[in-house]
Structure 1
Amino acid sequence: MEYLELLDSEFTGLIPPTLGNLGRLSSLSLSGFNLSRIVVDFEMFAKLKNLEHLSLSRNLIVMIPNSGNCSFPLLKELTLLGVNLTSTFPYFLRSSPELEVLDISGNMISGPIPEWFGRVRSNTLIRLDLSSNNFTGEIPSSICQLSSMTYMFLSNNRLNGAIPGCLGNLSNISSLDLSHNLLQGPLPRSLANCTSLWSFSVGYNGIHDTFPHWLLNATQSSLYYADLQSNEFHGVINEISLPPQLVYLILSNNHFSGQLRISFFQNSLVGFIDIANNDFDGPLPIPPPSLWYFSIANNKFSGEISHHLCDATLLDMVNLSNNSLNGSIPHCFINLNASALDLRTNKLVGHIPDIFAPENKLRTIRLSQNRFGGALPQSLANCKNLEVLDVSENELEGRFPYWLDTLPNIQVFVLRSNKFHGPLDSSKRTNLSFPHLRIFDISNNSFHGPLPVRYFANLKAMKDAAINRSQYTWMNYSQKSLTYQDSVTVVMKGFAIELVRILSVFTAIDLSRNFFGGDIPELIGDLKALKGLNLSHNNLTGIIPSSEEPQRPVRRGDKANYGTWSLPYQQSEIAKVIFL
């Protein structure tokens, strides 16, 4: 037998040690079958001298000693992916001069990358993946002797020091990933010699440098993916033209400043732009029509939103939040087919236009902390996939938008601090108003009348803690290591708190600072998954309803209602933060 491949099978039990007697094997792959994560002594393969391809991954715990009898002189490809290796670098690779592919990612290998590794196979190795281990120390200069290297992945380790300048000698390299380490110093200018470089990532390090104009030289660069996020890059990005084939440009979480040329993104095919969390200012550059992800959040951009954004018909995520953009929302946004629209914390004015077409796929709309006025547009009722709607801290007017209670998926509904008024009427078109709602904040408006019993009766996500934990998902736009995650700001005792990543377990109702009157409905006692309830600063009277099951004591209370009320024994043990 020369080839043995057992992938994604249903075998159980131990790997028989007699497997090591198949001396004619040239290819062995064991991966993904039901072995209950058994321990494999790597020395069992010591007799397989003809192996050219060896792959062990998933559900195996492979034990490799620091020294032993294994040697594979013909080995060309070795994959030990996620098999809980904890030893130092595999010793037997000294005897594999023909190795072309090495993947030992997803393990717990510690210590430095050995100097001898680059010298043993300087002309053969094409692909090297050491990512997601615990390698420490500097990147050895001997690794630059791997002259045939095409793919090198050293991400998610604890490598430190400077990036070796000799990496510029790897003229064939097309993908270099050094992200998620402790690397420092400037980028070596010699990387400009890597004219075949297609994907370059140094995100999440401590690189201190200016923008690498020399790397993006459009006359010679083949760069498709450039990730410089979460470093110490700084300064102004001078007049350059992006490489025409560049698709991903990620510069977020640095210290870049100044204005970007208005045509910075033009004449390129860039589709993923993330320049958030810098100090850019001035007007927005004109986005290219190829765009599908656009995040400029947390900068100092000013001026109006470019109408050219509407030409990006593939645009899926728009995050322009936390800038100084003014003017109104372009009416041509009706042409967008995005999943997330985040324009919060700007200086936008005017009415929110009727731009929400039928069958749109919006899941998140965040327009808070602007200067929008008028009524909410009726076309919001077309957003059948909507999960998050936050229009808080504007100057919106009108009665409660009861026509939104038929949206089947809405989970966060925030109208806080506007000029809404009137009673909380329901649409009466459905018996399942807001069934998935988990954060309901209409505080600091001018609503009046009784509390909305009909809504409380249908808040299923706040009644059953098990459903609340397991059933609801959140917008999480991912592309490699990049995400857009929903968050929400809640006000607790006057303090604004932004909740990120815990949305799936947090539930709250805030009806405070309105003019509600009458008794508190007994149905509130059924909301056993509710984490926060604020009814303060209203005109409520009567008895606070009790929960059916005694729970932990109230931690704080704000008795800022008017009239008379009393606290029954059962309710004094409810497991919530309650403001009354």
Structure 2
Amino acid sequence: ISNNRFSGAIPLTLAGCKSLEIVDFSSNDLSGSLNDAITKWTNLRYLSLARNKFDGSLPSWLFTFQAIETLDLSHNNFSGFIPDINLKGSLLFNTRNVTVKEPLVEATKVQPRVSVVVSDSNQLSFTYDLSSMFGIDLSNNLLHGEIPRGLFGLTGLEYLNLSYNFLNGQLPGLQKMQSLRAIDLSHNSLSGHIPGNISSLQDLTILNLSYNCFSGYVPQKQGYGRFPGAFAGNPDLCLESSSGICDGRIPSNQGSYFREDEMDGPLSVGIFFISAFVSFDFGVVV
């Protein structure tokens, strides 16, 4: 039911549709906070609430669907912090075993491939396989605070879009994210130096860190030249010369490649996810 003029909240009567696998409410006028009744969609693999008027904080239960692979919450009015991913001890990678210390879901029903799993580290702790995490799009919201470091430990993540928010803090190393194909953190308030290990990501084809508050220099010797426009709009950032010193500020017009009006959003989640769904055996389509 995407691309319509539906308004109001998501009808709670839909919570009884427990066999739903694909739900697309994108491009409507839906609003309000999210009701946890939709957690009854236990078979959900694709959920898009993009381009609506949802608000409130991101509830942690939104990221605990057992079989979810794709989650798009972009272009809404969600605010507050991005919930952290619990990586303290009990969250293990590269395992299909699930051990729940406090009941969250039935361990026998948990699928090995998910898109996002988030928990409150003060309330529960669990072991989960996140090695096949595919993509996250929280762009164009009102989110603030630091990006949870646990997000950068998701080794199977291919697509990450947090652009057009109010996120701050420093960008940690991305060396664990060897599957990453595209990352857009533009139009935030991120600061600090550009990590030198991003260029080592062999599958990375799109990098956008423009219009933040990064400082120091862009280490050209490490291959960042293949990402034109990726660092525009950072006034305290400069190019590294052949002698290893700053060689002038980065021109702001280099960021034109990433203009939103040239794409369906700064980075369209559909571009990266469409190939994952062409082979799906759809059961119920909304």
Q: TM-score range by the shorter chain?
A: 0.5 to 0.7
Residues 264 and 285, structure 1, Cα contact 8 Å, conserved in 2: no
Percent of aligned positions that are identical = 25
Question: Could you tell me how far 1:480 is from its partner in structure 2?
Answer: 4.0
Counterpart of 2:230 in structure 1 is 295
Q: Are 1:127 and 2:22 matched, yes or no?
A: yes
Q: Are 1:111 and 2:8 matched, yes or no?
A: yes
Q: Are 1:145 and 2:145 matched, yes or no?
A: no
The one-letter code sitting in structure 2 at the alignment partner of 1:115 is: L
Residues 238 and 248, structure 2, Cα contact 8 Å, conserved in 1: no
Measure the CA separation in 2 of the matches of 1:283 and 1:297. Answer: 12
Q: Are 1:168 and 2:75 matched, yes or no?
A: no
Q: Are 1:227 and 2:148 matched, yes or no?
A: no
Measure the CA separation in 1 of the matches of 2:8 and 2:153. Answer: 37
Measure the CA separation in 2 of the matches of 1:306 and 1:246. Answer: 28
Counterpart of 2:247 in structure 1 is 326
Question: Could you tell me how far 1:290 is from its partner in structure 2?
Answer: 10
Question: Could you tell me how far 1:145 is from its partner in structure 2?
Answer: 2.4
Counterpart of 1:236 in structure 2 is 170
Counterpart of 1:159 in structure 2 is 54
Match of 1:216 among 152, 155, 164: 152
CA separation of 1:116 and 1:168: change in aligned 2, threshold 3 A: same
The one-letter code sitting in structure 2 at the alignment partner of 1:326 is: D
CA separation of 1:114 and 1:298: change in aligned 2, threshold 3 A: same
Question: Could you tell me how far 1:477 is from its partner in structure 2?
Answer: 8.5
Residues 242 and 264, structure 1, Cα contact 8 Å, conserved in 2: no
Match of 1:276 among 203, 210, 218: 210
Residues 145 and 168, structure 2, Cα contact 8 Å, conserved in 1: yes
Question: Could you tell me how far 1:295 is from its partner in structure 2?
Answer: 1.7
TM-score between the two structures when normalised by the length of structure 1: 0.35
Residues 276 and 295, structure 1, Cα contact 8 Å, conserved in 2: yes
Q: Deviations over 1:176-221 (max 9, x none)?
A: 1101101011112254458343121111101112123212214xx3
Q: Are 1:201 and 2:96 matched, yes or no?
A: no
Question: Could you tell me how far 1:110 is from its partner in structure 2?
Answer: 0.3
CA separation of 1:135 and 1:263: change in aligned 2, threshold 3 A: same
Greater relative contact order (Cα < 8 A, sep 6+): 2
Residues 209 and 231, structure 2, Cα contact 8 Å, conserved in 1: yes
Residues 83 and 148, structure 2, Cα contact 8 Å, conserved in 1: no
Counterpart of 1:431 in structure 2 is none
CA separation of 1:266 and 1:217: change in aligned 2, threshold 3 A: same
Q: 1:457-468 to 2 correspondence within 5 Å?
A: none
Q: 1:42-81 to 2 correspondence within 5 Å?
A: none
SS of residue paired to 1:152:
strand
Q: 1:419-438 to 2 correspondence within 5 Å?
A: none
Question: Could you tell me how far 1:257 is from its partner in structure 2?
Answer: 0.4
RMSD across aligned positions (CA): 3.0
Gaps of 5+ in 2: 86-115, 119-128, 268-286
Q: Are 1:481 and 2:265 matched, yes or no?
A: yes
SS of residue paired to 2:251:
coil
SS of residue paired to 1:214:
helix
CA separation of 1:106 and 1:215: change in aligned 2, threshold 3 A: same
Measure the CA separation in 1 of the matches of 2:261 and 2:226. Answer: 15
Residues 232 and 251, structure 2, Cα contact 8 Å, conserved in 1: no
Measure the CA separation in 2 of the matches of 1:205 and 1:306. Answer: 40
CA separation of 1:174 and 1:326: change in aligned 2, threshold 3 A: same
Q: Deviations over 1:346-376 (max 9, x none)?
A: xxxxxxxxxxxxxxxxxxxx69xxxxxxxxx
Match of 1:260 among 188, 194, 207: 194
Residues 284 and 306, structure 1, Cα contact 8 Å, conserved in 2: no
TM-score between the two structures when normalised by the length of structure 2: 0.67
Measure the CA separation in 1 of the matches of 2:260 and 2:144. Answer: 30
Counterpart of 1:304 in structure 2 is 240
Measure the CA separation in 1 of the matches of 2:223 and 2:82. Answer: 28
Counterpart of 1:551 in structure 2 is none
Q: 1:469-548 to 2 correspondence within 5 Å?
A: 478-482=262-266
CA separation of 1:177 and 1:291: change in aligned 2, threshold 3 A: farther
Q: 1:370-409 to 2 correspondence within 5 Å?
A: none
The structure with more radius of gyration: 1
CA separation of 1:207 and 1:305: change in aligned 2, threshold 3 A: farther
Measure the CA separation in 1 of the matches of 2:149 and 2:182. Answer: 16
The one-letter code sitting in structure 2 at the alignment partner of 1:245 is: S
Measure the CA separation in 2 of the matches of 1:243 and 1:212. Answer: 14
Q: Deviations over 1:510-566 (max 9, x none)?
A: xxxxxxxxxxxxxxxxxxxxxxxxxxxxxxxxxxxxxxxxxxxxxxxxxxxxxxxxx
Measure the CA separation in 1 of the matches of 2:176 and 2:165. Answer: 21
CA separation of 1:140 and 1:291: change in aligned 2, threshold 3 A: farther
Question: Could you tell me how far 1:161 is from its partner in structure 2?
Answer: 0.5
Residues 174 and 197, structure 2, Cα contact 8 Å, conserved in 1: no
Single out whichever of 204-213 and 104-113 deviates more from structure 2.
204-213
SS of residue paired to 1:235:
strand
Measure the CA separation in 2 of the matches of 1:229 and 1:290. Answer: 21
